[in-house]
Amino acid sequence: MKRLFTALLIAASALAAQAATLQPEKSDVSFTFKQMGVPVDGKFKKFEAQLDFDAKKPEAGKIAFTVDLGSVSLGDASFDAELAKSTWFDTKRNGKATFVSNGIKPTAPGKYDVAGKLTIKGASRDVVVPITVASGVASGSVAIKRLDFKIGDGEWADTSMVANDVIVKFKLAFAGI
């Protein structure tokens, strides 16, 4: 019985070492787009991430990421209120953006391509996100097309005012990786 208990403790410790806990105070999710040719930076203040990752077996890893779209900030309360409206993020009906991985492929030491499904405003797209993992931090960026996710409908679909390209950048600090 003592051997079984010891084996269970060792197994539990090994599993706990693979699961990582997000440290939001050390993490950042931001984005950049161009409005009338001028770069505009924004950020999301609330997000969650679940990471089950072992650098020795990255293909077996899983990543799930959720952003609270209502936490968006361009640094001005009136702009932030505009982004909450149905034309943009429609936070009353679509309060969350999600990414769920379906594959992790190593590309170089500490670098990986994470394939998965990104869903914003009910629209889902397959994306590949290149990430770097070092010292407990997963970081990277991914380019998306805002109109693929119905961000900026109606008159704002005109890409001469607000560019279609958006670069999403992240730095996610985890305890346990």
Amino acid at 165: D
**Mean pLDDT over residues 165-175, rounded?**
96
Give the tokens for residue 166. 């958006």
Flag whether pLDDT at 134 surpasses 70.
yes
Whole-angstrom distance, CA of residue 105 vs CA of residue 173: 20
Look at residue 24 and tell me if it is in a domain: yes
Closest to 33 (Cα-Cα) out of 166, 149, 153, 159:
166
Look at residue 10 and tell me if it is in a domain: no
Look at residue 125 and tell me if it is in a domain: yes
Quote the domain boundaries for residue 120: 20-175
pLDDT confidence of residue 169:
98
135 pLDDT tier (thresholds 50, 70, 90): very high
pTM of the model: 0.85
Look at residue 3 and tell me if it is in a domain: no
Q: What is the CATH number of the domain that holds 136?
A: 2.40.128.110
Partners of residue 126 on adjacent β-strands = 117
What confidence tens digit (pLDDT) does each residue in 28-87 have? 999 999 999 999 999 999 999 999 988 899 999 999 999 999 999 999 999 999 999 999
Look at residue 129 and tell me if it is in a domain: yes
| Total number of domains in the chain | 1
What confidence tens digit (pLDDT) does each residue in 86-125 have? 999 999 999 999 999 999 999 999 999 999 999 999 999 9
Look at residue 13 and tell me if it is in a domain: no
Look at residue 7 and tell me if it is in a domain: no
pLDDT confidence of residue 124:
97
Look at residue 148 and tell me if it is in a domain: yes
Secondary structure string (H, E, C) spanning 150-161 = CCCCHHHHCCCC
